[in-house]
Amino acid sequence: METEQDYRDAIREICVRCGFEVLDPWKREKVIYNGAERGWWNKVPAADFIQRDLEDIEKCDLLVAYLPKLSAGTCMELFYARLKRKKTICVCLMPSISPWIAYHSNMILKSIEELEQALREI
């Protein structure tokens, strides 16, 4: 998924149209994912990487999580956002949703196209 990030543009455009300010960690993290050498991911300092993501969530009022497939990181972000009493919207393309994802999502959408209407209802 790290090389397929076009969905972020669509989500950003919808959020901006609905009057939200967007904080996208990919703007910072895409530099990390440019590692071409074998095993580069193991050299990423995990504590710093995770801490920055958690700080981003603390700054937000709402987390939009995109789950075309299961992602440990996205699930942890959903969990943390709900722990911090943030609103969460999960755009989940998987046919079967874990109870953990459902429980930590205020709203579950089946497509990005549904996001604009959901944001307007908030």
Express each pLDDT in 60-79 by its tens digit. Answer: 999 999 999 999 999 999 99
For the chain, what is the mean pLDDT? 87
What distances in angstroms separate CA 112 from CA 43, 52, 65, 72, one per listed residue? 33, 25, 11, 20
* AA letter at 80: Y
- Tell me which of 3.40.1350.10, 3.40.718.10, 1.20.1250.20, 3.40.50.450 is the CATH number of domain 7-121: 3.40.50.450
Per DSSP, helices labelled H in 3-121 are 7-17, 26-29, 46-59, 72-83, 99-103, 115-121
Nearest to 102, CA basis, from 84, 113, 90? 90
Confidence class for position 1, pLDDT limits 50, 70, 90:
very low
Q: What is the CA radius of gyration of the chain?
A: 15
Coil vs helix vs strand at 3: coil
